[in-house]
Amino acid sequence: MLDGVTPRIGVLALQGDVREHMHALAACGAEPVAVRRESELASVDGLVIPGGESTAISKLLDIFELLEPLRQRLRDGMPAYGSCAGMILLASEVLDTRPDMHTLNGIDMTVRRNAFGRQVDSFETDLEFAGLDDGPVRAVFIRAPWVERAGADVEVLARVPSGPAAGTVVAVRQGNVMATSFHPEVTGDLRVHRLFVETLVRPRAGV
């Protein structure tokens, strides 16, 4: 509970690491809600789009008749956070994906799918993350995307600090919508989820 109000935050529960995000949100004082239907989407104050397989999630949004309702809620200002596949889905443009993939146009950015390579190229690193105190974030990248273009209204929150991909943008925010290339839900570090809950969802939930 946050100052007497518990925000209801949905986790898109069509495919991917739903349970981990729900546990992280609960630990941050939110009420997590699995979202598979339009009525469930309508009941939440914000939404997390988890990692998974972006093209599969895109198809399932169509099958479950959630694509247009979700786009509309984003246009109406619903806070949202996407990790890995969620970042891909929130983009306005995606490179290296199927031509029939649907995006949500939540952030004005161009994202390259599987930019860091295949599953065997997964890695971890420490990132300085704008708006977070208490040191760097340990970031886990699994078949991760990166941001190749960020629009004028998009705030860059984190970049890869070193190595072949040094300087690559891996966390962004535009208004009430945030996205990361990496998976904070798997590390036990709650700061990214807490940032989402307390700065994006909580004010809109009437706190």
Catalytic residue among 20, 21, 28, 84: 84
For residue 172, the number of C-alpha atoms closer than 13 Å in the C-beta half-sphere is 28
- Residues ≥6 apart with Cβ < 8 Å to 187: 138, 140
* Marked catalytic residue, from 20, 21, 28, 185: 185
CA atoms of 207 and 201, how far apart (whole Å): 9
Element (H, E) at 192: helix 191-195
Q: Mark whether 28 is an active-site residue.
A: no
Look at phi and psi of residue 146 and say left if phi exceeds 0, alpha if psi is from -120 to 50, else beta. Answer: beta
Listed residue (173, 164, 167, 186) closest to 52, CA to CA: 186
38 is catalytic: no
Query: Known catalytic residues?
Result: 84, 183, 185
